[in-house]
Structure 1
Amino acid sequence: MSLDNTKNSIAARMTKEQKERKEAMFKTILKKTGMSYSEFLMMVKHNFVAKNLDSLTAEERKLFNVKA
Structure 2
Amino acid sequence: MVKEFEDLKKELEKLPKAQQKEWVDNWLDEIKWSSKFESSQNELEMLAREASEEYRDGKTKDL
TM-score (ref. length: structure 1): 0.35
Structure possessing the higher relative contact order (Cα contacts under 8 Å, 6 or more residues apart): 1
TM-score (ref. length: structure 2): 0.37
